[in-house]
Every structure is written in C-alpha cells, then in structure tokens.
C-alpha cells in the first residue's frame, strides 16, 4: 500500500482532474471573444433572433437584453446558450457602428489595419503562428504521453481512470487546436465570398476575412442578401443596406471565392 506504484496512479488521476478543470476554464473560442461586450444579434434554438450584449464563458455564452422582458414567470434580463446549442448556431451578428461616432472611427481604423497591416503587425502574426505551432506540438505530445500512461497496468486498475484520461485528452484538443490553416491564413485581410446554408438553400455573401478559429469565420462588412434574415433584422431598427460583422459557423459556412482587389 505504501509503494510508489500504488500512489502514482492516484496522483496522476488527481493531476489530470486538475488539468482538465483548468483546460475547461480557458477553452474560449478566440473569435467569439472578439465580440465580447458588444451588442450582437444571434438566433436562438427556436430560430428567433435575440439581441443584447454578449458575455463569453468557457462553457457557454450569455446575452444581456437591452431591456428586461416581462414573462409569466417574472422579469428576465438575459438569454443563455450552452455549448451544444452554440455548435448549432449558424452565425453571430454584430451591427457595425455609425461612422460619425467614436466607436465608428475606431472600427474603421481596425478595418484599415486588417486590410493594410504594417510590418509590426505582420511580424506579430508570424510570431503568433509560431507560438500556436509550438502549442500544437506540445498538445500532440501531451496527448501521446497521456495515452501511453493510461495503458500502464497499475493505472488501468484504478476506477474511472480511462474516463479521466479521455477528459484531459479532449480538453487538450479543444485548447490546442491545429496551429493554422494555410488557405485561411493566406486570405486573412482579403475580401472573400462566404457560402452558407440559408432557409431556402445556399446563400452567398461577401465580406472581409479578419480571422478564423476551429468553429468560426470572423468576417467584416457583410451585406446580407437573404430576405428572411433581413426581415428579422429590421425588427431591431437596423438599416437593411448597412453592413455587419459576422461570426459564421464553419459547420454550415465555407469560403467559396476570393474577390479581386
């Protein structure tokens, strides 16, 4: 009972549970985080468009309503979406600010930096990609080590050991995704055409590709064409011809074309 072989699996299980908790707390989508604190429009699981300020958590998101809504259960002030519901969400829309406001001026400056990055910003992106590649290599190595340890006979005898190992491995996969995708990296800062699934089939929409993650494509200055969506947006007193910044779900959207300069 006092042997190191007995205590090692228990220590590893405790460490893996701790690591799994830390990974879950840090596994926020970085594209989704760029909309945090902004007023957004997104579809609820029922299809109704919800408006409010976005709060991003590791295991879900919360939309704070501009005004409290009265229901038979009382006043409600927010709407919560859980991870499985976020995975089914086709897009998150952020209306672009008016150009004659401070927010509009800052938004325009950000857009110009995306279109025409300077040498410092290019170097910063290269360094970030290199860092992500190191994270990717570390994550793959860590998963291999964890997998090898789980096959140890003394470890496999511990109750729920396989379940705990799988939790850590899946957490590493979410926290450390593939470092970069060449075709998406090439067209960052370029005008692209997004093809997505609409209510009546495929819809094409153009915009400026700012960034991407394993779940989302972040596209700026998107002008929607789908009539049913424009009708929904008009309820929020948005001008139909204005543009939006959009997080497109990669499950239902792809980059189909690039636009000439």
Max CA separation in the chain (angstroms) = 73
| Burial of 117: CB neighbours in 10 Å, binned 0-12, 13-18, 19+ | middle
pLDDT score at 164: 56
pLDDT greater than 60 at residue 155: no
| Model pLDDT, residue 210 | 93
- Look at 35 and 71; give whichever has higher pLDDT: 35
pLDDT (tens digit per residue) in 164-175: 555 555 555 555
Q: Domain ranges in the chain?
A: 4-28+120-175
pLDDT at 102: 85
d(CA 237, CA 235): 6
Confidence of residue 225 (pLDDT cuts 50, 70, 90): confident
What are the tens digits of pLDDT across the range 84-101?
999 899 999 998 888 778
Query: What local confidence, expressed as pLDDT, does residue 204 receive?
Result: 93
Select the more confidently predicted residue: 20 or 59.
59
User: Which residues have CB under 8 Å from 101's CB, separation 6+?
Assistant: none
pLDDT-based confidence at 76, cuts 50/70/90? very high
Mean pLDDT of 62-66: 93
Residue 110: the pLDDT is 84
Query: Is pLDDT of 16 > 50?
Result: yes
Give CA–CA dist 28/33, Å, rounded.
7
Is the predicted pLDDT of residue 64 greater than 60, yes or no?
yes
């Amino acid at each position: 009972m006092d042997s190191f072989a007995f205590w090692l699996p228990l220590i590893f299980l405790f460490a893996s549970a701790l690591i799994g908790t830390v990974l879950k707390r840090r596994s926020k989508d970085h594209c989704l985080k760029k909309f945090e604190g902004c007023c957004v429009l997104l579809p609820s699981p029922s299809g109704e468009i919800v408006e409010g300020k976005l709060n991003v958590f590791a295991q879900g998101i919360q939309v704070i309503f501009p005004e409290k809504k009265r229901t038979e259960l009382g006043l409600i002030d927010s709407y919560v979406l859980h991870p499985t519901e976020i995975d089914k969400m086709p897009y998150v829309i952020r209306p672009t600010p008016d150009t004659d406001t401070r927010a509009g001026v800052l938004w325009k400056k950000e857009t110009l930096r995306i279109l025409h990055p300077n040498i410092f910003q290019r170097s910063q992106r290269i360094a970030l990609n290199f860092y992500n590649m190191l994270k990717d290599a570390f994550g793959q190595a860590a998963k291999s080590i964890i997998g090898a340890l789980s096959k140890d006979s003394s470890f496999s005898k511990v109750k729920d050991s396989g379940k705990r190992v799988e939790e850590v491995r899946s957490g590493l996969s979410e926290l450390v995704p593939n470092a970069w995708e060449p075709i998406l990296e090439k067209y960052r800062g370029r005008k692209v055409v997004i093809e997505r699934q609409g209510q009546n089939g495929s819809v094409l929409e153009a915009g400026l590709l700012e960034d991407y993650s394993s779940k989302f494509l972040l596209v700026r200055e998107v002008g929607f064409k789908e009539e049913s969506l424009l009708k929904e947006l008009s309820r929020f007193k948005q001008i139909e011809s204005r543009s939006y910044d959009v997080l497109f779900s990669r499950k239902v959207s792809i980059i189909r074309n690039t636009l000439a300069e």
